[in-house]
Structure 1
Amino acid sequence: MYMGHYAIALGARRWLRPLPMAWLLFASIEPDLHDVLGSMIPGLGIGPDTHTLPGACVAAIAIAVITALVFHRAGLALGAGLLVLSHIAADYLTSRLPLWRHGPMVGLHLYATPWADFLLEAGTIAIGLTMYASSPDLRRPVRGGVAVIAVVMLTLQAIWNFGLGGG
């Protein structure tokens, strides 16, 4: 659900404007990045816990603390931590993941039904980009580019869900 995670980060920008967009995007996919880095450099990994509730809570707290130290604002730190947690919430819709290590598997597993997953992602993209476009500090030309961003995101999501062969 990368496009959905990115859409959530874009939407969150409305309230977290002082944070750089890259910071918001990073926080929204931190569990996946932690997974990748952990497989490349085992010392950085937390094993199978990156997509569990305890693992996500640890990551959210770490990102919130780092955000507080760098930006000196508790509200921004809370927002960055919530973005990390949003990743897990979204993944429980699209996947089936354990709540904790060796815990029960939960989730709707919409990946198994590509059209359902696409509709969820498209709705998330629409909401996130609408919130992003209504951010009061965006200039008019940037708002015009939101439609282009939407097309790119929906196209990438369609490729993810349906492949290049259309099925």
Structure 2
Amino acid sequence: MYMGHYAIALGARRRLQALPMAWLLFASIEPDLHDVLGSLVPALSIGPDTHTLLGVCAAAIVVATITSLIFRRIDLALGAGMLVLSHVAADYLTSRLPLWRHGPVVGLHLYATHWVDFLLEAGTIAIGLALYASSPDLRRPARGGVAVIAIVMLACQAVWNFGLDGG
């Protein structure tokens, strides 16, 4: 689910304040966006590589380069690239993915154990939002909304893990 990736982006906001939140969220789910693009345009032949080590490293370099060109700060570029890399690192906990095209499949596949996956995602959401809430430039009224964001994210994750019928 995207909630853990978004939580990582929210937590990164504390260090990457100069980047717009939309850019942080984009970087955190870039491999999934690439996956969708690969599915929509099979001729690109990128679908099988979006979550491999080579694919995510290439995406991180591209996102870091674009970030550097737009925002003209290497620290922001490195941070955006790290967000892309964090995506696959997190996915190796929750899924089973190939290390390279036709390579060995690795990962803990926590999706298969709904409660364990939910607890991991909930912990990631809690840490990410705690970091976000402590961001020095966050306005006081926005801090009050963090609890609402947490509830929405946890509800989305619960629906993902357990469905609307609780199963």
Would you call these one fold, judging by a TM-score over 0.5? yes
RMSD over equivalenced CA pairs, Å: 0.9
The reply on whether 1:55 has 2:55 as its aligned counterpart is yes
| Residue 46 (structure 1) shift | 1.3
Looking at structure 2, the residues matched to 151 and 15 of structure 1 have their Cα atoms a distance apart, in angstroms, of: 24
Q: TM-score, normalising length from structure 1?
A: 0.98
AA in 2 matched with 1:47: G
Gaps of 5+ in 2: none
Looking at structure 2, the residues matched to 2 and 142 of structure 1 have their Cα atoms a distance apart, in angstroms, of: 22
Looking at structure 1, the residues matched to 34 and 44 of structure 2 have their Cα atoms a distance apart, in angstroms, of: 8
Taking a change above 3 Å as real, the CA distance of residues 72 and 44 of structure 1, as seen in their structure-2 partners, is farther
Taking a change above 3 Å as real, the CA distance of residues 25 and 122 of structure 1, as seen in their structure-2 partners, is same
Q: How many residues are treated as equivalent by the alignment?
A: 167
Q: TM-score, normalising length from structure 2?
A: 0.98
After TM superposition, what 4+ stretches of structure 1 lie above 2 angstroms from structure 2? Answer: 41-45
- Quote the residue 1:31 is aligned against: 31
Structure 1 residues 11-26: aligned runs within 5 Å: 11-26=11-26
Indicate conservation of the 8 Å contact 1:94/1:109, yes or no. Answer: yes
| Residue 44 (structure 1) shift | 4.8
Looking at structure 1, the residues matched to 42 and 142 of structure 2 have their Cα atoms a distance apart, in angstroms, of: 41
Indicate conservation of the 8 Å contact 2:37/2:47, yes or no. Answer: no
Gaps of 5+ in 1: none
Equivalent pairs: percent with the same residue?
A: 81
Looking at structure 1, the residues matched to 4 and 14 of structure 2 have their Cα atoms a distance apart, in angstroms, of: 16
Indicate conservation of the 8 Å contact 1:111/1:117, yes or no. Answer: yes
- Quote the residue 1:93 is aligned against: 93
